[in-house]
Structure 1
């Protein structure tokens, strides 16, 4: 199974970061996310490729090795398509999607700061590159390679570590964005506080207000 969910969160991530970086985080600049993302992506890519090589070396196609009963087991397949083997006859389309997903993720990481953003985007990037390597380097041909899957989730589908990385990264992005969307705009809050503390807000002696006050007293 190949999961490409990084693209739809790109605009939301960039929009939410401006609200999350405030106060102390603004005074003390957070590290750029791209460096952390690249480091996490490299580790994820290595883990993904090593597990795929072990699966090909130790498992036979069609066999099934239970890990957690019938819920999770090992079963080696070479998937030419995406999730649930969708698009099996158009592997090159998923190669193009993989390249775009990698480019978008790196572009977002360059614009953001913060360790959390770096880890989340690094997980997505590592998983995307992991499956992209299969598309480019695995048989039957360059750009149309079959993705190595070996993690069978019951009878639903079979995936790999790259898929786990992408799903984990997208979930972490959602957890980061939800609190950011709920935080009030600090600039607006400062403007309200300044108006509330100003002398004019407490004792407004404008002519119109004075006239109304005298009229009401009569």
Structure 2
């Protein structure tokens, strides 16, 4: 076999993958820190601004009826957790909220899923909103009472406990997180592989 024949055979022979042939992995999804931060800031600002407006306009005002009585705007202060549970454990709730904020920020570096970024952004923004009340509002640092102002179907919270935008953000974020977890979607956006039958 001449050199020309050998070169021609080499060109025609297919390339075979061996155990040592490197396989390119799929490119990693981009991090979603921008989405996470934007959602958290939006939720926090909406909560802080709404509470400032409520304190300024509704503190010494009768409840305001809106949407034909579906929603009432009423100024209240809550020393407990959601639904006024644990009114005597304000400091404990402050510490728990601070812990939740720390855990979410730690997980943020792994975020490559837009849905998870939205979920954790809502939870972080809501937690920071109520944590701000606990730290900066009366009666004292760490024991501040949260400003609640949305009451549905009644003006006194007897149909559904009075809440605020931070509470809504946390609940919506938690519901979305539960849906993502049930569907098996990871923080990095990976989905469970379907088994072939």
> Into which bin does the TM-score normalised by the smaller protein fall?
0.7 to 0.9
How much has 1:107 moved relative to structure 2?
A: 2.0
For 1:184 and 1:105, how far apart are their aligned partners in 2? Answer: 23
Is it true that 1:180 corresponds to 2:184 in the alignment?
yes
How much has 1:43 moved relative to structure 2?
A: 1.6
**Structure 1 residues 104 and 146: CA distance shift in structure 2, 3 A:** same
Match in the other structure for 1:42: 41
Question: Matched residue of 2:124: which SS?
Answer: helix
| Structure with the larger helix share | 1
For 1:178 and 1:88, how far apart are their aligned partners in 2? Answer: 33
Question: Matched residue of 2:148: which SS?
Answer: strand
Is it true that 1:164 corresponds to 2:150 in the alignment?
no
Aligned length in residues: 163
Unaligned runs of at least 5 residues, structure 2: 1-24, 186-190
Unaligned runs of at least 5 residues, structure 1: 1-25, 193-218
Question: Matched residue of 1:36: which SS?
Answer: helix
How much has 1:61 moved relative to structure 2?
A: 4.8
TM-score computed with the length of structure 2 as normaliser:
0.74
Contact 2:44 2:126 in 1 (8 A): yes
TM-score computed with the length of structure 1 as normaliser:
0.67
Question: Matched residue of 1:180: which SS?
Answer: coil
Which is bigger in relative contact order (C-alpha 8 A, separation at least 6)? Answer: 1
Match in the other structure for 1:199: none
For 1:112 and 1:69, how far apart are their aligned partners in 2? Answer: 42
Contact 1:71 1:153 in 2 (8 A): yes
For 1:88 and 1:67, how far apart are their aligned partners in 2? Answer: 29
Question: Matched residue of 2:28: which SS?
Answer: coil
Contact 2:82 2:167 in 1 (8 A): no
Question: Matched residue of 1:27: which SS?
Answer: coil
How much has 1:62 moved relative to structure 2?
A: 6.8
**Structure 1 residues 85 and 61: CA distance shift in structure 2, 3 A:** farther
How much has 1:164 moved relative to structure 2?
A: 0.8
Match in the other structure for 2:109: 110
Contact 1:32 1:113 in 2 (8 A): yes
For 1:73 and 1:161, how far apart are their aligned partners in 2? Answer: 14
More divergent stretch after superposition (79-88 vs 122-131): 79-88
Counterparts of 1:4-43 in structure 2 under 5 Å?
A: 27-43=26-42
Match in the other structure for 1:56: 55
For 1:28 and 1:124, how far apart are their aligned partners in 2? Answer: 29
